[in-house]
Amino acid sequence: MELRIACIPGDGIGPEIIAEARKVLDKTADIYGHKIHYTDVLLGGASIDVHGVPLTEEAIHTIRQSAAVLMGSIGGDAAVSPWYRLAPQLRPEAGLLALRKALDLFANLRPAILYEELADACPLKENIIGGGFDIMIIRELTGGLYFGERKTETENGVRKALDTLVYDEKEIRRVAVKAFDIAMKRRRKVTSVDKANVLDSSRLWRAVTEEVAKDYPEVVLEHMLVDNCAMQLVRNPAQFDVILTENMFGDILSDEASMVTGSIGMLASASLNDSRFGLYEPSHGSAPDIAGQDIANPIATVLSAAMMLRYSFDLDREADSIEDAVKTVLKDGFRTGDIISADKTQVGCSRMGDLLAERIACKI
């Protein structure tokens, strides 16, 4: 099979972690008899430095010629980077928002998995984490507060800001369908998170989700208010299978879930549209303070590449092989600095990529 992948190395540690993900992908392709065609694309600060804008129309066109996008990370240190002295629409993150909108990437998938080997890195007590947990957070990505009308004005000498939260039933229905489809392949439970006791948008969210649930009688649906969900994630994370929620709530809850796993450097993500096309990236940021030092953790990017094989190319065996390689490396005691613990062997970014690639094995 020929795989056409657009690569966005991005900023900070992005080029380093993408290089290791490609190393693992190339080994996987070699073992399973695939051929990968990569096309590098500029986004974020890297694009600003060359083109003066965080995303060009040419970049969007190039990405659309590929079947999937593998991205490192974008952005820099807002306190010192000249990128953040530009107008908001010209800053690195604006390019990512524009790309999500242009490609209609409406569903963001963020798995939060506590690996047995990293249980000691989890900040929760042992009696809470029990046998570990495996949560899939599905966040609506192109609507809601982040994309609504906004303005700041002065009225009667007083500054006033307005942000608008809007959802229509089509936007809600399509991400709910995605959540229920994924739940059918997991433990068949969806927790829909909202603020229906206050917000009209949440009351519509809840109503539409219940309509979708009727088509999935095998899946258990429960509703949970967002403040309760934030509490339950640290009280009993194992109760969750698939969490479905809107844009801003998902942004916050997925970061909380990432930290109860022990390290954000371990967490992958996927952003999907109605086709098999997706953008795959680690959940962490660009970490400019450690860029170029070969100490970044590439595992989240490698696991994002595994998600890409699974969701955009329907290559489940290949994805399983990469995920198994990650588990094997951890069992063998290798760690990057962010997840190091006593009696383990610390390695750098490049060496971790080598170790993962060495452990890719064909699954029959």
* pLDDT for 69 beyond 90: yes
- The one catalytic residue in 32, 134, 146, 320 is 146
- To the query of whether residue 30 is one of the catalytic residues in this protein, the response is no
- To the query of whether residue 146 is one of the catalytic residues in this protein, the response is yes
**299-311 vs 14-32: helix axis angle to the nearest 10?**
50
* pLDDT for 264 beyond 80: no
- The one catalytic residue in 23, 27, 178, 195 is 195
End-to-end CA distance of the chain: 17
Q: Do domains 1-106+271-364 and 123-260 have the same CATH topology?
A: yes
- Residue pair 226/245 in contact (Cβ under 8 Å)? The answer is yes
For the domain spanning 1-106+271-364, the CATH number is 3.40.718.10
The confidence band for 123, taking pLDDT boundaries of 50, 70 and 90, is: confident
* pLDDT for 124 beyond 90: no
Single-letter amino acid, residue 355: L
- To the query of whether residue 332 is one of the catalytic residues in this protein, the response is no
pTM (2 decimals)?
0.88
Looking at per-residue pLDDT, the higher value among 88 and 350 belongs to 350
- The one catalytic residue in 26, 251, 316, 320 is 251
For the domain spanning 123-260, the CATH number is 3.40.718.10
Task: Supply the pLDDT for residue 115.
Answer: 85
pLDDT digits (tens, 9 = 90+) for 125-150: 888 888 789 999 999 998 999 889 99
How crowded is residue 323: how many other Cβ atoms within 10 Å of its Cβ? 18
Task: Supply the pLDDT for residue 158.
Answer: 97
Domain chopping of the chain, boundaries:
1-106+271-364, 123-260
Report d(CA 47, CA 158) in Å as an integer: 38
Lowest mean pLDDT segment, chosen from 102-106, 287-291, 323-327, 339-343: 339-343
**Which residue blocks in the chain are alpha helix, DSSP H?**
14-32, 45-51, 57-64, 92-102, 126-129, 169-184, 200-213, 226-235, 247-260, 299-311, 316-331, 349-358
Report d(CA 308, CA 272) in Å as an integer: 10
HSE, side-chain direction, 13 A CA sphere, residue 324: 13
Task: Supply the pLDDT for residue 121.
Answer: 77
* pLDDT for 71 beyond 80: yes
pLDDT digits (tens, 9 = 90+) for 143-197: 999 889 999 999 999 999 999 999 999 999 999 999 999 999 899 999 999 999 9
The confidence band for 201, taking pLDDT boundaries of 50, 70 and 90, is: very high
Report d(CA 200, CA 194) in Å as an integer: 10
- The one catalytic residue in 49, 120, 227, 274 is 227
